[in-house]
Amino acid sequence: MANTELTHLDPPHTHLVSAFLAMESPDWLLSLARVCGGGSVTESVQRFIWDHCISKADGNFYRPYLKRFLKKLIAEVESTGAYVLEELYEQYATFMISVKDDDMAKGLSKILKRVSFLFPDDCSKSKKLVVPLQCSLNLLEGDTGCSIWPSSLFLSEFILSFPEIFSGKSCFEVGSGVGLVGICLAHVRASKVTLSDGDLSSLANMRLNLDLNQLNLNIGLLQSTTEVRILVKCKYLPWESASEYELQVIMPDLILGADVIYDPLCIPHLIRVLSIVLSQRKAHSHAPDENSEHLHDEKIADCEEQETLDKHLREFDSMNGMSLCTSDRSSDHCFQASKQGPVAYIASVIRNIDTFNYFLTVAEQADLTVTDLSEKIQVLNLLPYMQSYQRSNVKLFSISYSG
């Protein structure tokens, strides 16, 4: 399915198409359809759904979802005695014959969703950012690293709301999952993005999603006068076995994580990783170890590479009139740490208060300062059509080294 053109649609119709692309609940799609029709699913709304949703679905779209949506849509219209488009009947009849609901039993475990970030008029020359993501079909199978979680959606909104924080910065994400946060970092022109995960299947899926979003791995220079490739790297990084050396080589300005505070057994390993990365600039002023010369050379190369990318990005943005949203929706003191040294931004749903308190305790023992930013910033609501995403449940924290 090609990216649906949403720029010239009004908000209700934009929300309907965006919800369809993200595969929101069919019941929620019908609610949005009623809004478009002034309270009912009119013939013109059916025509819109056919033209902008159903007929645009290609072979990558999850057909059982289309079948369920069509069934509910037809039943809704028939219940009011209104006319149902023949195209809808014909397509549903085709699905009745060809589409079974036991696709998972036949080995299908992934589906392709498209997350549309809808920007306010004053934020960007582009009204939308559509991110295709291959993700898990069934969380019950334990494929959590290939799922889209609320905290990754919130962290993505945070990045897109405050691009000035991340533009030109080297960013490192722990537990990157499907790669959504990294894709948004590339969109706001982070100079270098290192994504990591400790699960090999999640890492493979993440690489596929980067390819779907036309992000070339490990390529970071201008490829033409009209195109910039942000340096994006994927790294296999189990927290429990990550060495201090490989963490020091990354040398990021900013560290990010979404829904990484959930397992008490993993928290000490996570804190160790954060502590090494956040404190490394101070630690490196002491006596060198046996790897110091190699590490120093790699860091110089990374710095030179980043300076070159920054220069190319500035030239590219100036040449193409790029304009991303900048805002005073937050107090400057919220982001002071980024001027003094590396800082981490962690978004999380607190599902177990004891686990979260344990996280705070271990962080304090490691000389890490955790600050709750949830009430101090105003993140743009870029996903207004997504009923499955409850942004009020997500908390945002900054973490810095205070040792």
pLDDT per residue of the chain (403 residues) written in tens, 0 to 9: 444 455 578 999 999 999 999 999 999 999 999 999 999 999 999 999 999 999 988 878 888 999 999 999 999 999 999 999 999 999 999 988 887 655 544 555 789 999 999 998 766 556 789 999 999 876 545 466 688 999 999 999 999 999 999 999 999 999 999 999 999 999 999 999 999 999 999 999 999 999 999 886 654 433 444 445 567 899 999 999 999 999 989 999 999 999 999 999 999 999 999 999 999 764 444 434 444 454 445 444 444 444 544 454 444 444 444 445 655 555 454 554 455 789 999 999 999 999 999 999 999 999 999 999 999 999 999 999 999 999 999 999 999 999 7
Q: For the chain, give every domain's residue range.
A: 11-106, 139-401
C-alpha neighbours within 13 Å on the C-beta side of residue 227:
8
Which residue in this structure is represented by tokens 């979802």? 65
SS3 of 192, please? strand
> How many Å apart are CA 92 and CA 68, to the nearest integer?
9
pLDDT, position 121:
78
End-to-end CA, the chain: 51
- Whether 383 contacts 118, CB under 8 Å: yes
Instruction: Indicate the residue type of 153.
Output: L
Q: What angle do CA 159, 376, 355 make, to 5 degrees?
A: 80
Torsion over CA: 261, 265, 267, 273 (sign): negative
> How many Å apart are CA 395 and CA 360, to the nearest integer?
14
Rg (CA), the chain: 23
**139-401: what fold?**
Rossmann fold (3.40.50)
pLDDT, position 80:
93
DSSP 227: B
Contacts of 260-267 with CB under 8 Å at 24 or more apart are: 260/174, 260/175, 260/346, 260/348, 261/346, 261/348, 261/350, 261/355, 261/356, 261/359, 262/348, 262/351, 262/352, 262/355, 263/355, 264/354, 264/355, 264/358, 266/239, 266/240, 267/355, 267/358, 267/359, 267/362
Does the reported pTM lie above 0.75?
yes
DSSP 400: E
pLDDT, position 315:
47
The secondary element (H helix, E strand) that includes residue 213 is: none
